[in-house]
Chain A
Amino acid sequence: MIPLLAVDLLLMLPALLLLGVVFLLPLLRDAWLSLHASTVVTGLMAVPNGAANWWRLFDDARFRQDAFQTVRFTGVSVALELVLGLGLALLLHRPGRGRALLRALVLLPWALPTTVMALGWRWILNDPHGPLNGLLQAVGLPTFGFLTTPSTTWLAVVVADVWKTTPFVALLLLAGLQSIPVDLVEALQLEGAGRLTILRRLTLPLLAPWIALALLFRIAQSLGVFDLIQVLTGGGPAGSTESLAMYAYRQSLRFLDFGYGATVLMATFLLLLLPGVIWLLLQNRLPRRTA
């Protein structure tokens, strides 16, 4: 008879192999590459160069700027998506006519491919021919360079991302809301609790694991943002919307600087670990919470 542990391991083997091949192997290869020079100058051969790439990274103002921009984008858009998504979920959770249709409509932005919707926003925000500037002109205001003003263009990116991803958050939270037994709400209603009390004392605490899940998904996704920005602004104006993923991509695929690209990617990966750590902390904290 095979010992139980061996059976366990045997059953896990395919998954472990898959994880190893698609996750661990590339990661190790990336870490290895980050300690090498591999550029057109080296004939695309990996030549060991110690920590040179990492020293370059620590000294790279553009990396710092992109890291800041990525985190800023993530923080603001995820926060907005959470607030709006929660509101939307609460709205969709209420009984009423046409709720199914409304749910389907709300999901549309999420179902749209990112590149398509990014192109749409690029047109909407065009200066001066986009409909938004048309609207501004119609009410007698001057047009605004939504995509050409370095100090504010990141907000346009946030708006596009929020527009697209809020439905996802709403859907997740709606599922959470629907998992809350109606009895609980009614029990509190009978005690004379108002809507706000119910939201604060009952709905939100019970929704906490779902909110954490949404945060995990969204933060990890946002920190790796690429396609939306690539299409909407190309990282401009003046590099003000470039994300870390775009920087890593450019280093490797545009500049053929694979060593440094791997370094940027590795640094981005370490940053991506952050939400996982936050998640673990949250998980440990939640059960200890008191009312």
Chain B
Amino acid sequence: MSGLQLQQLSRRCGDRLVLEHLDLAVAPGECLALLGPSGCGKTTTLRLVAGLDPCSGGRILLNGEDITARPAGEREVAMVFQSYALFPHLDVGENLALGLRSRGIPRAERDRRIASVLELLQLTALVRRRPAQLSGGQRQRVALARALLRQPRIVLLDEPMSNLDARLREELRPELRRLLCGGEPPVLYVTHDQQEAMGMADRIAVLQAGRLEQVGGVRELYTDPASRFVADFLGRPAINWLPGRDGTALGLRPEHLRPRPEGGLQARPERREWWGHQQLLWLETPRGTLRMLLPEGAEAGAEGLRVGWRAADELWFDAAGQRLSAEGPWRQGLESGAV
């Protein structure tokens, strides 16, 4: 078995179970994003893999080898911290050298590796600057450089872009992918930003309250969410919810609503946001407020319209939030909306 396997991984903090029996596998070269709201256990998972916190149960296997009890310093982990964790008293070059030095890498080798990674990240000109003299993006590049310097067996990224502005984040995503993913080591990427997860990861694991909700490919999670939580968490603007019978709920993504000449629900636009390539409408309907994404060019009259959707786009969930099949008695009463 190669790659990273987490088996029944648990972490307890006092009486609180922060992580509960997590089973997860990351293949070599695969980038897996851990996605979830804050407090869901994603950073905890990362720290357990890094060896920064002890597990309360379960095992961590790396290339078939049990590393659960191994100290952090011996796991050969490269980690990029949310804060970047740059040493404020050292300049860029020294920041990079410190880790190599404490691993006893000879000076010549050290200098060679630092020079090449500085070049790769276009940091050569900044080598004598201290972290305080760098911009946010530059700091992040230094943190990346430090992760790249070692030949790690796992790469861990803890919200590496949350301190950057949106534009920079978008620009950096492919670069980050190019530099870190696709090599030998598996990559674990923690984020609370679904767009970032979707842009970066091969697969996404959605965590909530210390439990794994669903793991799968980006498209799979979006189109075929296993739980109401996953459906709700992924997708912006957020999914619409219509109450079904017996506590069930129907999820309809805003882009799946379409104006119709007849049938469907009677709707009155309450508010609209114009986004350039599309617009977002808030519709007042007998079933509640619905958000609808209209492609550029499509028009909805101010006085009212009818909206419908395709039966294939319906996502049904039971009262406990578990996914239901698209056929069933719960559809009664809402069929009128279907195309």
Contact = CB atoms under 8 A, between A and B. Distances in A.
A202 B103 CA distance: 15
Contact of A187 (B81, B94, B97, B100): B81
Interface stretch (A4-12, A26-34, A116-124, A178-186): A178-186
Interface in B98-138: 98-100, 102-103
Interface string A73-90: 000000000000000000
B283 interface: no
A192 B150 CA distance: 11
Interface string B84-96: 0101111000100
A190 B73 contact: yes
B26 interface: no
A191 B100 CA distance: 7
B72 A188 contact: no
A192 B89 contact: no
Interface in B54-105: 72-75, 77-79, 81-83, 85, 87-90, 94, 97-100, 102-103
A291 B102 contact: no
Nearest to A291: B94
Main secondary structure of the interface of A (DSSP, over half): helix
B319 interface: no
Given A191-B103, A192-B102, A183 B85 contact: yes
Given A189-B52, A291-B94, A202 B73 contact: no
Contacts of B103: 191-192
B50 interface: yes
Contacts of A188: 87, 98-99, 102
A205 to B, nearest CB: 5
Contacts of B102: 188, 191-194, 197, 201
Given A192-B74, A192-B103, A186 B85 contact: yes
B73 A184 contact: no
B106 to A, nearest CB: 15
Contact of B85 (A187, A205, A290, A291): A187
Nearest to A204: B89
Interface residues of B, number: 27
Contacts of B72: 186, 189-190
Given A189-B72, A190-B72, A206 B50 contact: no
Among B81, B88, B89, chain A packs the most CB atoms within 10 A around the CB of: B89
B98 A190 contact: no
Nearest to B50: A190
Contacts of B90: 291
Interface in B183-211: none
B46 to A, nearest CB: 11
A181 B83 CA distance: 9
A157 B100 CA distance: 47
Interface in B231-266: none
A48 B87 CA distance: 60
Nearest to B99: A191
Interface in A74-113: none
A189 B89 contact: no
Among B75, B78, B79, chain A packs the most CB atoms within 10 A around the CB of: B79
A193 B102 CA distance: 5
A191 B102 CA distance: 7
A41 to B, nearest CB: 60
B83 to A, nearest CB: 5
Contacts of A202: 87
Contacts of A208: 89
B298 to A, nearest CB: 49
A201 B74 CA distance: 19
Interface in B36-56: 50-52
A193 B73 contact: yes
Contacts of A183: 81-83, 85
Nearest to B88: A206
A188 B95 CA distance: 10
Given A190-B52, A192-B73, A194-B102, 12 more contacts: A184-B87, A186-B81, A188-B102, A189-B73, A190-B75, A191-B103, A192-B74, A192-B102, A194-B73, A206-B89, A208-B89, A289-B89
The 3 closest A-B pairs by CB, nearest first: A191-B99, A192-B73, A183-B85
8 contacts: A181-B85, A190-B51, A191-B99, A191-B103, A192-B103, A194-B102, A206-B89, A291-B89
Interface of B: 50-52, 72-75, 77-79, 81-83, 85, 87-90, 94, 97-100, 102-103, 146, 150
